[in-house]
Amino acid sequence: MMYKYLFGLFFLFISSAISAQQISVEVKYVPADPADNLLIPYKPGKKLRWADFQGIPTDTANTSAITSSGLGYKFKLHRTEELATFTFTVNCTFSKLKSWVEPGSTNDYVLNHEQRHFDISYINTFLFIQKLRTTTFSLNNYRNEIQQIYNDVSYALNNMQRSYDIETKNGIDKEKQAEWNKKIDKELATVVL
């Protein structure tokens, strides 16, 4: 009987200690690993060039070029008795080997359309960072919480990319492309990392 009581007190003490622990979240936007010259980190103002598209065309029926870009992250959890600190490093990159252009399609208009795909990835990277910074993580379920945020933002990113291509007809509809250019520029202007 005494052991059950002591175990109960011990459990209560541990639960109180965990719930009393402060939680801190640090999020940093970092470029891709400089040693990986197959990835280009997103840098505001730096534009893609056709030389960056080094992949081999795989679907030439409907598109003249493909941009493969997205976001990635790593995190560490450091705990002391008083504080649990989540440190996230987040990046947005363009894959040279997964991005390609059909020979004869290398003009400025098509390059702008492809650049906007990379811009959309960056906009959603910012959304991911905002969500990480504003989430109150639980020490019991943080892995699932982080994964859910990533899944939600990935879903939003994919939807935005798909909407962009559908509405512009892969850049063929110049009027819609101009509308998206303005929309993307407006959203990029709000990105503060």
For the residues of 65-85, what is the DSSP string, one character each?
EE--EEEEEEEEEEE-SSEEE
**Residue 31 within a domain:** yes
Q: Would you say residue 104 lies in a domain?
A: yes
Q: Are strands 65-66 and 100-101 parallel, antiparallel or unpaired?
A: antiparallel
Residue 61 banded pLDDT, cuts 50, 70, 90: low
Residue 5 falls inside a structural domain: no
In a domain, residue 16? The reply is no
Over residues 9-50, the pLDDT tens digits come to 333 333 334 455 799 999 999 987 777 889 999 999 999 999
In a domain, 83, yes or no: yes
The C-alpha angle 148, 150, 156, rounded to 5 degrees, equals: 105
In a domain, 4, yes or no: no
Domain encompassing residue 108: 24-189
Per-residue confidence (pLDDT) for residue 145, from 0 to 100: 97
Count of domains in the chain? Answer: 1
pTM for the model: 0.87
| Burial label, 55 (beta-carbon count in 10 A; 0-12, 13-18, 19+) | middle
Strands (E) in the chain, as ranges, are: 22-29, 39-41, 65-66, 69-79, 83-95, 100-101
Closest CA to 154 of 64, 92, 83, 109: 92
pLDDT tens-digit series, residues 125-143: 999 999 999 999 999 999 9
Look at residue 119 and tell me if it is in a domain: yes
